[in-house]
Structure 1
Amino acid sequence: MNTRLGLAFPPSLPPERIRPVLEAAVEAGLDEVWFSEDCFKSGGVSAVASALAWTEGTGLAVGAGLLPVPLRNVAATAMEAATLERLHPGRFRLCIGHGVQPWMQMTGAAVGSPLTLLREYAVALRGLLAGERVTADGRCVRLDGVELDHPPKQPLPVHVGAAGPRTLRLAGEVGDGTALALGFDSDGILKACATTRETGGARHPVSAPVMIATGDRARQRLDSEPAAYGMQPGLGVAGGPDDLAEAFGQLGRGGLNSVIAQPTGDDPDLDGLVRMLGRDVRPTLAAA
């Protein structure tokens, strides 16, 4: 398996840092860069649109991962996604998910059954992006003969973000791929791959973010990062290029399709870290 190596732009960084990080990612030869839509940081769609425009002519894929479905009407998401795909064919990656429930409650967008919303939303979104006229009268998603004037000219896969076992199985069922949430250790990532493939099949693609830190106080910096996400310390990989290559290689050999490296927001040399990933880690991972 040729495992892809991507980068998650640290959501704690301001949007003006996006362009230099992208330039480093292109120079490093990374396969993809992902932007989250964590509340209340930067907008995911606007970040992705800018990133795709700034990297025009490169092979870099740019992902929105994930867009929290309670915050957006499914028709609006379909219009945005179709536009990005038509403007940048084959380079846009789309991922949707529950969103963090306390944040959804803060915005007044939380629903009684996040699983129901995600199921109905994914089915409707895939139909709209396939150019279908969609009518839906679900518990959460309601559409009356909605059809995009300008759907994607080629299929645009819809990836579904997941963490718990029920959502992992749902992602395998209704998604074209699964993007794991932060919070898994290496064993947990591989177990989650197996769970989502129970419904998605053996070839169902799975990506996972892995928090990383190198250099001075790497472990300390890494252990302080999960607190912002309500997770326990001890996750991720701290060390040098060999440590990252070994950890990522094990995940690739275990069946993970894409490893998405997520640096800490306080990395002292983020651009240098990105270049190191391409120079010293990606060649090893490509052979995993």
Structure 2
Amino acid sequence: MLAPLRLALIACALTAALAHADELQYNVALTPVWQGEAALDDGGKVGLNSLLFSTSVDQAMNPGWSFGLGVRLAQDRWDFESPARFGGQAPWDTVRQGSLGFHINYVTAGYQSFSVLPTIEYAGESGASGSDAIGYGATFIAAQQFSNTLQLGLGAGVFREFDKTSAFPFLVVDWQIDKQWHLGNPFDAGPSGPGGLELSYAPNERWQIGAGGAYRSERFRLAANNSVSPGGVGQHERLPVYLRVGYAAKPGWRIDAYAAAAFGGKLKLEDDRGHEIGSDSYDTAPMFGISFSGAF
């Protein structure tokens, strides 16, 4: 899934922690994403339309501390056509996700950064029981500012999703290679996976071209009246690789257009006891998205 806010978390933490104590920074983004129809390996087709919204606020607290709160909402509308692996019936329909995260960041006098980002998330098919669709966890990050243009670090995410716990490591990269080229993390690390990598080129202050990707995995509770697995769990995995063209408007607003391909797409279905009912993969699918975002 294309991220609504392409922020390197540690870079934001460093900026906020070195800012004035009374300075608040707000971010907001709206991103519709279309994933084209693709053939399922066992027969049938699948497509997906998504709408994502996120907003966050950061508060710097000298010396070195900053705090923030972020909200993310997403809706995925699935379109299945005769999926043979699931008995010809759609394994799920509309899936909604919402997360609330709080982050604490500290930057030392030697420019080491430490961050903790606890998150609680709802992920369920329309009509799923709210109490059965709650997950929680945290992301931990440690990074070092080596120069004005290079920051590197390590992170780990640990999340409890319904009936299983997942964990993953990831790299934190914020490297301004020269005035035009930049390498960094395009996605926020969270329950769906790590932050990925993006290489971008900015010919001037307004325009930017980038390419990147990251592995994504989403689990969600199914509705009690689901026709294939009532109260079960669905899972969607893929590797979106994208090209991005961005235009920055002043003050602080920008628009980014994405053309992407989803590789390694896989769907999995479990019953309400966590036993796998079936899984199927789909062919590489085209993706297109557009993100409207602002920072002020």
TM-score strictly above 0.5:
no
TM-score normalised by the chain length of structure 1: 0.33
Q: Give the strand-richer structure, 1 or 2.
A: 2
Tell me: higher relative CO, structure 1 or 2? Use CA pairs within 8 A at least 6 residues apart: 1
Q: TM-score, normalised by structure 2?
A: 0.33
Greater Rg over alpha carbons, structure:
2
Greater share of helix residues, 1 or 2? Answer: 1
